[in-house]
Structure 1
Amino acid sequence: MLPGSALADALESGEIDMNIPSAGVIPAEDYERIEGMRGVTTVGGQPLTTVFMYVNEKSVPDARQRKAISYAIDRRKLVSKLLGGAGEVVDGYFSSVSPYRNNAVKPAAYDRARAKRLLKEAGWDGRKTLTLSVPSGDDAIRQAAYIIADNLGKVGIKVNVENISFDELTDKVVKEDFDLGLLPVTMTPVNPLPDLAYFLGAGNPNGYRNEKVIDLLAAVGAEVDEEKIKSLYGELQHILAEDVPMPALYAAKALGAVNGRVVGATPKDFGMFINVQDWTVRRREA
Structure 2
Amino acid sequence: MQGRNAIGQRRIGRRRLVGQSAAAGLAVAGVGHLGVTRSAARQEAASGILQMGRESEFQPNFNPMQVATGTQTQICDLIFGRLLKVDTDLNLVPDLAEAYEISDDATQFTFTLRDDAVWHDGEPVTVDDVIFTYRLAMRPAAAARQWGKLSQIAGAIEFNEGASDEAAGLERVDDQTVRFTLAAPNVAWLFGTALSNSLMWILPEHILGDADPAALDQHPFMLAPEVGSGAYRFIDYVPDQYVQFEANPDFYLGAPKIGQVFLQLAVPTTQLAQLESGQLHLMPRMSPRDGERLQDDPALRIEPAPGVGVFQIAVNNERFPDKRVRQAMMYAVDRAALLDVVELGQGRLVNSTVIGPEWATYDDLDDYAYDPGRARELLAEAEWDGSRTISLTWSQGFQAIELAAPVFQQQLAEVGITVELAPLESAAYLQAVVTEPDFDLAWFGGGSYGMDPDVSSAYYLSTTWTPAGANTTHYANEALDELFIAGRGTPDLEERAAIYHDVALTLNEDVPTLFFWSNNLIWGISANLAGVRPGPNQYIWWNIQEWSLNEG
> Could you tell me which amino acid in structure 1 is paired with residue 439 of structure 2?
F
Tell me if 1:100 matches 2:360: yes
Q: Is the 8 A contact 1:18 1:267 kept in 2?
A: no
> Could you tell me which amino acid in structure 2 is paired with residue 151 of structure 1?
Q
More helix by percentage: 1
**In the superposition, relative to structure 1, how do residues 225 and 6 fare at CA in structure 2: closer, same or farther (>3 Å)?**
farther
The SS at the match of 1:105 is coil
Equivalent residue number for residue 239 of structure 1: 506
Name which of 187, 190, 193 aligns with 2:454: 193
Alignment of 1:159-174 (within 5 A): 159-174=419-434
Gaps of 5+ in 1: none
Equivalent residue number for residue 269 of structure 2: 5
**In the superposition, relative to structure 1, how do residues 143 and 278 fare at CA in structure 2: closer, same or farther (>3 Å)?**
closer
Q: What's the CA shift for 1:225?
A: 1.4
Equivalent residue number for residue 229 of structure 1: 496
Equivalent residue number for residue 393 of structure 2: 133
Structure-1 separation of matches of 2:483 and 2:268: 37
Structure-1 separation of matches of 2:342 and 2:540: 27
**In the superposition, relative to structure 1, how do residues 51 and 256 fare at CA in structure 2: closer, same or farther (>3 Å)?**
same
Q: What's the CA shift for 1:97?
A: 6.2
Q: What's the CA shift for 1:47?
A: 4.0
> Could you tell me which amino acid in structure 2 is paired with residue 108 of structure 1?
Y
Q: What's the CA shift for 1:209?
A: 0.5
Structure-1 separation of matches of 2:426 and 2:335: 23
Alignment of 1:200-219 (within 5 A): 200-202=461-463, 203=465, 204-219=471-486
Equivalent residue number for residue 180 of structure 1: 441
Structure-2 separation of matches of 1:11 and 1:268: 20
Alignment of 1:1-286 (within 5 A): 1-2=54-55, 3-19=267-283, 24-95=284-355, 98-174=358-434, 175-202=436-463, 203=465, 204-270=471-537, 272=540, 276-282=544-550, 284-285=551-552
Equivalent residue number for residue 45 of structure 2: none
Q: Is the 8 A contact 1:71 1:110 kept in 2?
A: yes
Structure-2 separation of matches of 1:172 and 1:151: 25
Q: What's the CA shift for 1:72?
A: 0.6
> Could you tell me which amino acid in structure 2 is paired with residue 280 of structure 1?
S
Q: What's the CA shift for 1:105?
A: 1.1
* Greater relative contact order, per chain length (Cα 8 Å cut-off, separation 6+): 1
Q: What's the CA shift for 1:185?
A: 2.1
TM-score (norm 1): 0.89
The SS at the match of 2:502 is helix
TM-superposition CA deviations, 1:151-193 (whole Å, max 9, x none): 1111111111112123322321113200011111222422142
Q: CA RMSD in A?
A: 2.1
The SS at the match of 1:251 is strand
Gaps of 5+ in 2: 1-53, 56-266, 466-470
Count of aligned pairs between the two proteins: 280
Q: Larger deviation: 54-63 or 159-168? A: 159-168
Q: Is the 8 A contact 1:257 1:267 kept in 2?
A: no
**In the superposition, relative to structure 1, how do residues 64 and 220 fare at CA in structure 2: closer, same or farther (>3 Å)?**
same
Q: Is the 8 A contact 1:98 1:190 kept in 2?
A: no
Structure-1 separation of matches of 2:381 and 2:405: 26
Q: Is the 8 A contact 1:47 1:97 kept in 2?
A: no
Q: What's the CA shift for 1:276?
A: 4.6
Q: What's the CA shift for 1:278?
A: 4.2
TM-score (norm 2): 0.48
